[in-house]
A and B are shown apart, each in its own frame.
Chain A
Amino acid sequence: MITLKIAIRNIFRHKTRTIITLSTIVFGCVALITAGGFFEDIFYKMRESYIKAHTGHIQIYQRGYLEKGRVEPYAYLIENPGEIIALAQGVKGIRFVTPRLQFSGLISTGENTISFLGMGVNPEHEKTTQALAQDLRKSTDNLTLGGVIVTSGQAITSGDTYSVMLGKGLAAAIGAKTGDSLVLLTNTVNGSVNALDVDVKGTFYTSSQAYDDHFLRLPLATAQKLLATDAVQSLVVMLDRTEDTARVKRELAQIFDAKGLNLELRSWKEISEYYAQTVKLFNRFFLIIKIVVIIIVILSIFNTMNMAVFERISEIGTIMALGTKRRGVLNLFMYEGIALGLLGGIIGVAAGIIVTAIVSRIGITMPPPPGTTMFWLSEPKVVPSMLVLAFVVSLFTAVVSSLYPAYRASRLEIADALRHK
């Protein structure tokens, strides 16, 4: 007990030095918590905008589509989407299941003709929201929560039989704007050529520039009419919570197997390779930040502990003369280091939460990520695992950086130490 008491009181002996050391630990914690929260916000927004605009949480295909669908896109269509949707709706956590039909063709303004990829969607499900360009927070929210945002004109509705929305890049490529008339030319599922006159109701933007450069969106019924089919290509499952993806996918697979339906399922994670790679890349950046922070904190505590040992050589001699063993001296300095780490960790975690919350409230304007064109607002999140990490790092670095000074103190020769002035 008395050793612990001495350790704690020694920490407050040199208040300025302790404050500087604690500040380093606190700074390290804040850096970890804020940086971790910043990356988590990127992951979250990227993931959610991708899920909402492109992948959904889970995609359901006719078995074989994923392997051979590129060659024969219409050979693996889902003929009975209504039955499957009804089956899936029973699973807890599903917000809705929506059909999609994707196809390719040529689009023409009369003057310009280029190829496009079309996606027939249910506009009631796959809603688009108007972005408020002046309010970065609002447009970032729209992108995160809605996935697709309208950049000009209006969103399509189920009633818009002869209207489409063009990706921002696609519209620019053919020089089309809201209100223009276009001709879509494609092959039906049977191979014959079909064309349709449509109006541009609006243009949209998603977090993927490649998508915006090639895709147009139109009501599913229009797409089905153009392709002369009642079938759909995929069913996209949207959940209330992304965390439920694995469970829902498992349960859906069981239901479909039990019914003998020849379907296959893919989660957003399996589809979004780009997301997985980005997470990997950013986690590597974060690892470097972690290492730098750990080194700074270790050096700071090491310096403090080393000075503490040097200044207290005579005291170490005294307590050893009074019967304290080398191990006792080692413990004394280890306790001091650990107490510094604990204190720094507690203050650091609290400061990290406060700083992250403040930064999040203010927001950091970020340039468009690779492959996109829109500025967005970063709002770092307070991530519980990052709080634990910051605290563990404080304690771990304190222990590591106290080891050598404590060992050095415990190896002093008593007679020499007592002579030390």
Chain B
Amino acid sequence: MCIVRLDNVRKDYQLGKITLQALKGINLIVEAGEFLAIAGPSGSGKTTALNLIGCIDKPTAGQVHIDSMETSGLSSDQLADIRAHKLSFIFQNFNLLPVLTALENVEYPLLHRRLAPLQKRQMAEAALESVGLANFGGHRPLELSGGQQQRVAIARAIVASPLLVLADEPTANLDRATGEEILNLMKKINSEKKTTFIFSTHDQKIIDKANRVVWLADGAIV
């Protein structure tokens, strides 16, 4: 089943009088259950592609389909609904909310779900346990290591069982060993729960772990 389809997607950025073409009309289909790497050097358009798939940016031209729904005509609230119910994110800088504990961070995406508070709490605990941090629920992000923070971010990404998890350079701020651990964890979730992952990277060791690799260079798939 195709869950992401990009049709001739272009993205331009206006920098003063200069128009920068970040993506020059790319086509891509992602099937459910894939563990896909978008690889390429810095500035190749990886983050832009992930942002468009993640409905946090709109293409200049072309169409982005998420779960067979064309997203370019949707309002900001409708896009927020798609993000809340179908997608989730793992960021390079972990992006946990510093005022919330690990468990509360994991629970945050469930804010948009109509579930009993107790059920939300149990789901968050289960997600935290699945990333091996069952005992760290009460810790604030600053009390955790980078690797632990990214695990919390992964738990947050999977807690609501999204259709697709988007990870933008998830290992870039971690040492090699921890980065590998994180990727193995993502891979494990992918194979056990069949959650689809799309992640961007320029690290060959990480790229090697992907089921499929899409190479980007200068805003085009090569």
Q: Which residues of A contact B (CB under 8 A)?
A: 1-3, 5-6, 9-10, 13, 314-315, 317-327, 413-415, 418
Contact = CB atoms under 8 A, between A and B. Distances in A.
A268 B85 CA distance: 71
Interface string B95-133: 101111000100111011000010000000000000000
Nearest to A3: B111
Contacts of B107: 2
B99 A418 contact: no
B99 A323 contact: no
Q: Size range of the interface on B?
A: 20 to 34
B104 A414 contact: no
Contacts of A2: 100, 104, 107-108, 111
B188 to A, nearest CB: 23
A314 B156 CA distance: 17
B57 A415 contact: yes
Contacts, number: 73
Contacts of A318: 89, 91, 95, 97
Contacts of A415: 51, 56-57
Interface stretch (B2-10, B73-81, B189-197): B73-81
Contact of A10 (B76, B88, B99, B104): B99
Contact of B89 (A5, A315, A321): A321
Contacts of B89: 318, 321-322
A317 B95 CA distance: 9
A415 B83 CA distance: 13
Nearest to B57: A415
A183 to B, nearest CB: 88
B97 A6 contact: yes
Contact of B108 (A317, A319, A413): A319
B220 interface: no
A1 B95 CA distance: 21
B84 interface: yes
A6 B100 contact: yes
Contacts of B98: 13, 315
A10 B99 CA distance: 6
B54 interface: yes
Interface string B39-70: 00000000000010010110000000000000
Contacts of B85: 323
B81 A414 contact: no
A261 B22 CA distance: 97
A412 to B, nearest CB: 11
Most buried by B among A9, A314, A318, A326: A318
Given A322-B109, A414-B57, A418-B91, A5 B80 contact: no
B104 A320 contact: no
Given A9-B100, A318-B95, A325 B109 contact: no
Nearest to B110: A2
Contacts of B93: 314
B108 A321 contact: no
A5 B57 CA distance: 29
A322 B77 contact: no
Given A2-B107, A3-B111, A418-B56, A325 B99 contact: no
Q: Enumerate the 9 nearest inter-chain pairs by beta-carbon distance, A residue then B residue, closest first.
A: A323-B84, A9-B99, A414-B56, A318-B95, A415-B57, A325-B80, A323-B83, A323-B112, A415-B51
A322 B160 CA distance: 11
Contacts of A327: 77
Given A326-B77, A415-B57, 7 more contacts: A2-B111, A318-B97, A322-B88, A322-B108, A323-B81, A327-B77, A413-B57
Contacts of A414: 51, 56-57
A331 to B, nearest CB: 12
A315 B80 contact: no
B113 to A, nearest CB: 10
B108 A326 contact: no
Contacts of B97: 6, 315, 318-319
29 contacts: A2-B100, A3-B111, A5-B104, A6-B99, A13-B98, A314-B93, A317-B95, A318-B91, A318-B95, A319-B108, A320-B83, A321-B83, A321-B89, A322-B83, A322-B88, A322-B109, A323-B83, A323-B112, A324-B80, A324-B111, A324-B112, A325-B77, A325-B80, A326-B77, A326-B80, A414-B51, A414-B56, A414-B57, A415-B56
